[in-house]
Structure formats: structure tokens, C-alpha cells
Homo-oligomer: A and B are copies of this chain.
């Protein structure tokens, strides 16, 4: 049932092959000093870096750079970014990259003027922001996280083996995002399909919660079908613009608050996956992939009706003459088949996890209560063991 909620999403999206021009509309709204945040430098190879620098200069901006944002941005990097932003007295942050770069840019934007240690305040304690926020804009080069149109930000603390995501309010959402599907063409296949599964997982974390025929469930079934359809095309031809553009658009709407309306939401796959990531530094989407099938097999009995619906509405399983369990199982089999077809990692072993890590990974997993079954420590260890065997 749709309960009481508010919906408001202030991020403006510029989509398509010409979308970088949107920078010329947006940059004049902000002050002179811009912190340009990016990752490992692939944007220099593709030429995007030069294009962005030119537009920033054309708009008379003073540019301060913060490069080298890693796939799982660390708390040490966050301190470094804050220092740069303070030194440059920056008025605006432009993030050019994938979800990690956008996530990190939002973390910097709320942390620069924090009087307390931002890790403690905004990640460990997940407090609301009560200090000045530096506005952020994004140029997206990788899809999956939905970070371009939401308040999510994930930071990793290797010392304490914690990878924590804080979903900030709309004052932290990017002011705008530039979404050109062509920028995603050069991504290596491993990262590309990891991103596809990240999208799938975002939808499933919301879909597998609550019991009723909510409009959000129908919207999510549409997003899932579009993703499955286009992902099969994209793995065969990564430069298929139509497929990549539909996937990019699906990723945004999978996690910009819309489809969560009326849902309790689960997020346990992310909790387990993030803990795996803190131990292995593996690619986010792959950690989710490697724990999903064991997790969903484990919780299926507690949400059987929804798993049955998932099989029929998303995977076109023919229900005739089958028990609910059979139908639900067939749905997960279809999902597993699709995962293998597009080349996802099915075992945390392949991601570098070892038997001696499992207890720690389980201990580092935040237990949430929105899904069909509230897990205990032993159940998480069992799920991880199943993934080790896959």
C-alpha cells in the first residue's frame, strides 16, 4: 500500500549525444572556483577531460583538480578531497566519472565544512547535514549506481573494514547530471556487466519487499524487462547506442527514489556485498552478483508469492501445472542463466574471498529489517558459504 510520503527530485538531467552542452547552461549558475573530480584518468584517454576543461575555461572558471578517485573511495581520499576543496575555496564541484566518482563528490560536498570528522558524523552515525553544502554536478561515464540522480554516497574505511553508504536528502542530490551513453562505450566489459547487475540489484532490493500490488512493483517489472532485454544486446555489441541508452536511463530510474514509494525495501544484498567489498576490494556490482542467488534462494520461502510473480511477470515462466515453489524456483533459474550469459561472477571465491574471511564479512554486514526475513549471523555465513561453492 502506498503510505504517506513526499516525492521531490531536484536533479536536472541532460541526456543524449549532445548532452555535454548542458554544462554551458549550468556552469554560469555557480561561482568561479570549481573542483574537478575524476578517477584513474581514463577520461584523459577518451578526450572527455580536454572537452570538459575547455568548457570550464570558456565559462571563466578557476579549475582545481582532485584526481585518482578509486572504485571504492576511501576515507583517506575523502580527507584529501576536503583539503583541496578548502584550499581552492571552491564554489562548485564537477564530478566526471562513474558512480564512485559521483558518490565521492557528494561526500566531499557535505564534508568540507563539517566541524566534526565527516566519517564519524556522516557515515558511522549517518547524521543529517547541518553545515554548508558545496553544490555538485555530474558528467556520467559509467552506469549502475544511480548516483547521478540521488543522494547516495558510499565510502570505505579499510582500517575498520567498513564500507558504509549514506543516502543523503535532496539538498545533496546533484544539481544536474550529463548523461551521454557514448561515454559508456569505452568501459571494459567486466565493469560494464558489473554495472548492469548493480542496476538489477537496486531494483530487486526494492521489489522483494512488501506484499501488495503496488504501482511501484509494476514499474519495477518494466525496468527489469527493459534491462534484461537491452543487456543481452549490449554484451554482444557494447556500442549499440539504443541498448546502452536504455540501460543508462533504466539505471537512473532504478534508484532515484521513485520505485521505493510504498515499499519497505530490503538492501541486504548490498549490505552483504559491501562487506565482501571491504574485505576483497572487488568491483561493487560483482560482489552483489556473487551473493544474490544464494541470498534469494535463502529468503524465497518467506516471500514466495512475490518470487512467483517475479518468475511469471519478469521471466515469462509458464505457471501451468506447477506448484508455487516450482514457479518461483524457475524464476531464479532464469535469472541465474541470464547472469551467466552476460558474464557475471557467481562466487565470492572468484573475487578473492577465503574461508577465513567469512565470519568477518558476516560480522561486518549491517542487518536491515525491510525484507522478507531478518537474517542472523549464521544465515549470512551460510549464504557466503553457498557463494564460495558456486
Q: Contact residues of A with B, CB < 8 Å?
A: 1-19, 22, 181, 212-215, 217-223, 225-226, 229-230, 241-242, 245-246, 249-250, 253, 258, 261-262
Contacts and interface: CB of A to CB of B under 8 A. Distances in A.
A57 B18 CA distance: 49
A220 to B, nearest CB: 7
B229 A223 contact: no
A246 B9 contact: no
Contact of A218 (B19, B181, B212, B225): B225
Given A4-B16, A6-B14, A225-B218, A261 B242 contact: no
A228 to B, nearest CB: 10
Nearest to A1: B242
B9 A4 contact: no
A12 B16 contact: no
Contact of A222 (B5, B11, B15, B220): B220
A6 B13 contact: yes
B245 A2 contact: yes
B226 A218 contact: yes
A15 B6 contact: yes
Contacts of A242: 1-2, 212-213
B4 A17 contact: yes
**Of residues A7, A19, A242, which shows the largest number of chain B Cβ atoms within 10 Å of its Cβ?**
A7
B8 A12 contact: yes
Contact of A2 (B2, B16, B212, B221): B16
11 contacts: A4-B17, A6-B12, A7-B13, A7-B15, A9-B9, A213-B230, A213-B246, A215-B222, A215-B246, A219-B223, A221-B222
A213 B226 contact: yes
**Of residues A6, A215, A246, which shows the largest number of chain B Cβ atoms within 10 Å of its Cβ?**
A215
A246 B2 CA distance: 7
Contacts of A262: 245, 249
A15 B5 contact: yes
A18 B2 CA distance: 12
Given A214-B246, A226-B218, A12 B4 contact: no
A16 to B, nearest CB: 3
Contacts of A241: 1
A219 to B, nearest CB: 5
A262 B250 CA distance: 13
A22 B4 CA distance: 11
Contacts of A2: 15-16, 181, 242, 245-246, 249
Nearest to A216: B249
A29 B11 CA distance: 21
A66 B363 CA distance: 62
A215 B245 CA distance: 9
Contacts of A217: 226
A169 B17 CA distance: 23
A113 to B, nearest CB: 25
A249 to B, nearest CB: 5
A177 to B, nearest CB: 10
Contact of A229 (B1, B213, B250, B258): B213
B249 A215 contact: yes
A86 to B, nearest CB: 31
Contact of A250 (B8, B215, B230, B249): B215
A91 B389 CA distance: 66
Contacts of A22: 6
B219 A215 contact: no
Nearest to A225: B218
